[in-house]
Chain A
Amino acid sequence: MKIRYFAWMKRTVGVAEEEVTPPDGTDTVGDLVVWLRSRSPGHAEALAEGAAFGAAVDQRTATFDVKLAGAREVAFFPPFTGG
C-alpha cells in the first residue's frame, strides 16, 4: 500500500510517500503506525506516541481503530490549519 505524509511529518519522515508491505497481523491504522515507527528514526519521531497527528484511509479521515482491509492509500498528517 502507499503511505503518504503531509506538512511537518513529511519533513520528519524524510519522504512524501512510500510503498510498503506491512507484515501479516497489521489489521488497523493503529497497527500500521506501530509497524511504521520501526522503519527509521524519522518515522519513529513523526509517528511517536503522543504526537498530534491524524490519518486517512483512501482519502477519508480515519481513527486508529479503522481496519486496513483492502486499503490502497493511507495518509498521516498534523491537525488541519486551513481557512
Chain B
Amino acid sequence: MKRQQANKLAVGIISAVAALVVIPIMLVIVFIIVRGISAISWEFLTAAPRQGMTEGGIMPAILGTVILTFGTFIACIPLAIGAAIYLAEYAGDNRLTHWVRLAIVNLAGIPSIVYGLFGLGAFVLFLGLGTSIIAGSLTLGIMTLPVVISTAEEAILAVPQRFRTVSLSLGATRWQTIRHQVLPQALPGIITGVILGLSRAAGETAPILFTVAAFYLPQLPHSMLDQTMALPYHLYVISTQVPGMPLSIQYGTALVLLLIVLSLTLVATIVRTSMRRRREW
C-alpha cells in the first residue's frame, strides 16, 4: 500500500524533526553544566570579583539579581493581580475590554530593549531616580506584567462558576466572593504565573542595561537608589568586554544564572502539578 508507506515516511520525518528541536536544548544545558561545574566553588559563590574580575567570585552579581527579582515582584504584583481580577471577574464583553486585551498582547510583544529605553526615559530621567535598583525593578516589573496577568487570569477563570454562585447566593458581595472563594482557589495557579514571570525577569539583560546594571561594583548596594551588579549583565561583560577572561569563570557564571532561572521554572512547574493533583474540582 503506497498510502501506508507515505504515512510511515511522514511520521518518521516528523519525529526526526522533533528530535532536532529537543536534542540541542539538552545539549545546551549539558554543555554548560559540564564546562561550568569546575568553576563553582564556595569562594566563587561568596566572594567579590578581584583582579579586574579575572579572579574571585560573583557574589555581588548573584545578590544583585536576587534583589532585582524581589524588586520586580513588588513592582509587578499589585497591578498584575488587579488587572487579572479585572479581566476575569469584572470586564464585560465590550470595546474597552477589547482594548485592554490588545494592550496586554502588545505589552508582551514589546522588545525588552524598548522597555530599557522606556525605563531610562521614564524612571531614570523623568522621575529622577537615576540608575538605581528602584528604576531597574520598576522597568522589569512592567515588562513582567503581561506574563503574570495572562497566567493569573487563566487561573481565576479556571475556578468553577458554582463557587461564585453559591457564595453570592449566601449574600456575599462580589468582592467578598472574590476575596474569600475565588482567589484562594486560584492561588496556586497565580503563584505559578508569578514565579514564571520572575524567572524571565531574573534572566533579562536588555531592560537593566541603562536602568540599574553596574559594570563592576565590588561592594554591595546600600540603598534602593544604588546601582548593582546583576548576573546576566555580568555574563555579558565578562564574555565580551573584558579581554583575557578565563573561560571557566564565564561558563561558571552562565551556569549559576541558568541554575537560578531554571530552578525558578522548576518550582513553578511543581506548584502547578501539585495544584492539579490536590484540586477539589
- Are A and B genuine complex partners? no
